[in-house]
Structure 1
Amino acid sequence: MRSIALVCRLTFLFLTFLLVSSTLSHSESAEKAKQRQETYQQLEVFANVLSILQDNYVEEIDTPETINGAIRGLLYSLDPHSAYLDSEGFSELQEETQGQFSGIGIEVTIKDDILTVISPIEGTPADQAGLKAKDVIVEIDGEKTKEMGAVEAVKRLRGPKGSSVKITVFREGWSEFKEFNLTRDIIPLQSVRSFMLAPNIIYSRITNFQSHTTEDFKEAIARLSADTEIKGLILDLRNNPGGLLNQAVSITDLFVDEGLIVYTKGRTENQNMSFKAKTSPQDYQFQLVVLVNEGSASASEIVAGALQDHQRAIIVGTRTFGKGSVQTIIPLPGGAGLRVTTARYFTPNGKSIQATGILPDVEVPFVPCNGQVEESDEDEEKFRESDLKNHIPGTEKAKDTKTESEQNQAKQRLAEDNQLRSALNILKSLNLYSRFCEKDNET
């Protein structure tokens, strides 16, 4: 009886659609009306298949779960970023943008039908275990990930704090798979970390774009600039998988006086949007270098692309991931939701980010090192004038605004990170060039 009722209900909807379609046919092309009719005929086939399974499958099927599976398959067939979110998945997505979740701390996507790492989140179990962008996750707890889908994979990777998950990974250059046993933890998405890297130069890393990222960034800059003039900033967007569009726009707006930041194009008019910078006396005017790599995706590519097109920053590193599509979250009854790709992102100069990414102005591949800090000559006390007996004192003691922990952190980062060293050298060169220009203008 339930099968007959279901078929009758869908048939009723189909006939209703045909009736409505006939009244709208004068404003639609015959081809479009034909496509719609074929679509609803396929829905009738789906209802018949479901009815047959309900009555004849070897075991009684869970009808709601079967329908949910069909919806997931529908979204999976479109692109890697469109997905059906059940009530649990929809709730987790909302929690993630607000600040934390429990899992291993990794962003994944489907690339060539393979579950691929976009980037690990800094300081998380995945990052500490050594997972990297472009790693392929072959299995999760012994189950093959092929055709699993990104949403289902994320659901399996997440779990209660303290629980464990085993993943099998393959990386280009490896001769065999490797297994990682990871213990899940609370992933506090502290999206902004900043400190003084060198005199008058700030290093600021944005790990992802959350609802409070811009405010956290502004507070960090205000704190660090309270006692010293800031002449340059290194903005690190490496392994930043993206996040909220409005936060990417507002971060960019802090550095750009006017003009486009990003615009979108979709199939429908309401998906075509543009976001522009607003002039403000609080806009930052100091020199800017942005670090990117293959783990920089989506919102971080919007920031890098806009700053590059406006010639407001020098982009350093390697080509970004190339996720230039817009996902719209549509709530559904019962707490579920759809994440649907509805448009593409374009930089102010009209370049599509999708599948191409942002090419850096200065390409610097990352070269790993042994992580040991090499002491430079200037760090050896015997070469300091101040340590010589009866030295002539200076007229003013040098002021160092960095704490000892910040000094150690900066030294360690620079020793281990050749891309960061390149960015710092470029920024110092820019400041030196600016001083020369100012002197020329004065004379």
Structure 2
Amino acid sequence: MSGIIRNLSFAIAGLILGLSATLFGQEHTQQYKTQLNYPLLLDVIDTIETYYVKKFTEQELIEAAIEGIFTKLDPYSSFLDKNEFTNIRESNNGEYFGFGVEIATDNDQITIVTPFPQSPAEKAGIMPGDKVLKLNNELVTADKLENLLAKIKQFSYNNQEIELELARANSELTYSVTISPSVIVIDSVEAQMLDHQIGYIRLSSFQDNSTQELIKQLALWQKTPLNGLILDLRNNPGGLLDQAIQIADIFLEKGRIVATKGRFFDANSDYYASPQTMVTSVPMLVLINKGSASASEVLAAALQENGRAKLIGQTSFGKGSVQSLIPSLSNGNAIKLTIAKYTTPNGTDIHEKGIEPDIKIALEAVTNEQTMSIINTNSFRGSIANDKHVNSAIAWIKTEK
């Protein structure tokens, strides 16, 4: 399995560390620009611009050269123009414009990681694990992922709809959807008190305010002692690394949370929990699936390996690298660059492997008739009354209590 997360929605889907603009800023770049010369590259660009049978401008050739550089790197690193950079920053604030679905290459197939809540993709019925077969009636293949993404970005920028043909996971059933881009607002933390005083928290992404919102919610429950806590990380594609670390720290009294390792000094860190915690004596279960990736895997592994929570569901996606957004030279551009790998508290590299749940539940293991209603159908994001993962979590918590 090759984990190559990309997005159709321009929402960030990796572990993002903020680097100071001065570190890779214009002054730094200008220093090297005056010291180095690139005669071969300049000669190639000039020759093609002058003699090639088809006309290309100098700017087009420079952009092609930049694109060529990133083909040498991992698939998580990319050049971001002003619009893409703006969309990523907005997504970290919980709002962005796009189609609302994360994709990956998995076993040489373009695969849906997760549709975002209330997005055009989710409303169209797209599900995690679906395979993308065609874009606007053109066949797509994993080796042409960059071209596919470029086309989708263009449709989003121009506010144009796209047609996707997809196949359901583990099935020959195919279907087509037409979706239009829109402004998508994500509340990263949603919560509800279930029966038997069991708290349920859905964490859909890791945004700037996720830790603060989670603390607010837990504080509201302090007056009513919890019998258990369910943290739902299913279809959470990641986000800000510092938020995942801070949230892990809320639930852990001690122990390592995550370790990162890279080539330059600041990319090497060990993060440990502080003594200040909340809901320490409450049984806790974390729900994960194939759509749980990146920062959500950091949080899940920290809680699992420190013995704070059990994981229930399916094996997670398996993304073990850290990206940083580095402001570029000019015009509001930026570079999203992989700067480190991370390992779990026990030193495990989960990249392209994922995290194994303590309690594994296959998607087809329980039918709707076998589940029982647990909450009102007017709950957020529709009903989870027949959610077998939540039902299993409640049953486990009751046994523990």
> Shorter-chain TM-score: which interval?
0.7 to 0.9
- How has the CA–CA distance of structure 1 residues 104 and 373 changed in structure 2, closer, same or farther, with 3 Å as cutoff? farther
Q: Quick one: structure 1 residues 200 and 173, their matched pair in 2 at CA, closer, same or farther if it must change by over 3 Å? A: closer
Task: Please show how residues 301-312 of structure 1 align to structure 2 within 5 Å.
Answer: 301-312=297-308
Structure 2 residue aligned with 1:49, among 11, 26, 44? 44
What TM-score, normalized to structure 1?
Answer: 0.75
Tell me the matched-pair count: 365
Residue equivalent to 2:86: 91
Query: 1:141 maps to which residue?
Result: 136
Matching of residue 423 in structure 1 with residue 370 in structure 2: no
1:130-166 Cα deviation digits (max 9, x unpaired) = 22223232333345544242753662463577x5221
Preserved CA contact (<8 Å) 2:162 2:180: yes
Counterparts in 2 of 1:408 and 1:60: CA distance versus 1, 3 Å: closer
TM-score in terms of structure 2 length: 0.82
- Whether 1:104 aligns to 2:99 is yes
**CA distance in 1: counterparts of 2:62 and 2:269, whole angstroms:** 34
**1:434 maps to what in 2?**
none
Q: Where do residues 264-413 of structure 1 align in structure 2 (5 Å cutoff)?
A: 264-280=260-276, 282=278, 284-334=280-330, 335-367=332-364, 409=379, 413=383
User: 8 Å contact 2:371–2:386 — kept in the other structure?
Assistant: no
What's the offset of the Cα at 1:225?
Answer: 4.1
The amino acid across from 1:316 in the alignment is: I
- Aligned partners of 1:160, 1:223: CA distance in 2, in Å? 43
Deviations along 1:392-423, one digit per CA (max 9) or x if unpaired, are: xxxxxxxxxxxxx857539x845421111111
* Long gaps (5+) in structure 1: 1-12, 18-39, 380-404, 432-443
Describe the shift of the 1:134–1:69 C-alpha distance in structure 2 as closer, same or farther (beyond 3 A): farther
Change (3 A) 1:261 1:248: same
Q: 1:428 to 1:159 in 2, by over 3 A?
A: farther
Over 3 Å counting, the alpha-carbon distance change for 1:364 and 1:175 in structure 2 is: closer
Give distance in 2, aligned partners of 1:190 and 1:356. 29
In structure 2, what is the Cα distance between the partners aligned to 1:297 and 1:94? 19
| Percentage of identical aligned residues | 32
After superposition, what is the alpha-carbon deviation per residue over 1:332-383, rounded to whole angstroms, capped at 9, x for unaligned? 122111111111111111011211111001111123888689878xx9xxxx
- Give SS of 2:85's match: helix
Quickly say closer, same or farther: Cα 1:201–1:117, change in 2 above 3 A: same
1:230-278 superposed Cα distances (whole Å, 9 cap, x missing partner): 1211000000000000110111111101121001112333311111111
Matches of 2:372 and 2:294, distance apart in 1: 38
User: Superposed, which structure 2 residues align to 1:147-166 within 5 Å?
Assistant: 147-149=144-146, 152=150, 155-156=153-154, 158-159=156-157, 163-166=160-163
Q: In structure 2, how many angstroms separate the alpha carbons of the residues matched to 1:50 and 1:137?
A: 36
In the alignment, which residue of structure 2 is the partner of 1:202? 199
> Is the radius of gyration larger for structure 1 or structure 2?
1
CA contact (8 A) 2:76 2:337 kept: yes
- Of the two structures, which has the highest relative contact order with CA contacts closer than 8 Å and spacing of 6 or more? 2
| 1:192 Cα offset (Å) | 0.9
Which structure carries more helix by proportion? 1
- Map 1:114-263 to 2 at 5 A: 114-143=109-138, 145-146=140-141, 147-149=144-146, 152=150, 155-156=153-154, 158-159=156-157, 163-175=160-172, 177-226=174-223, 228-263=224-259
> Deviation of residue 123 (structure 1)?
2.6
- Alpha-carbon contact 2:376-2:385 (below 8 Å) kept: no
- d(CA) in 2 for partners of 1:78 and 1:145? 22
Shift in alpha-carbon separation, 1:176–1:307, aligned structure 2, 3 A: closer
**TM-superposition CA deviations, 1:10-38 (whole Å, max 9, x none):** xxx89954xxxxxxxxxxxxxxxxxxxxx
In 2: Cα distance, 1:69 partner to 1:298 partner: 29
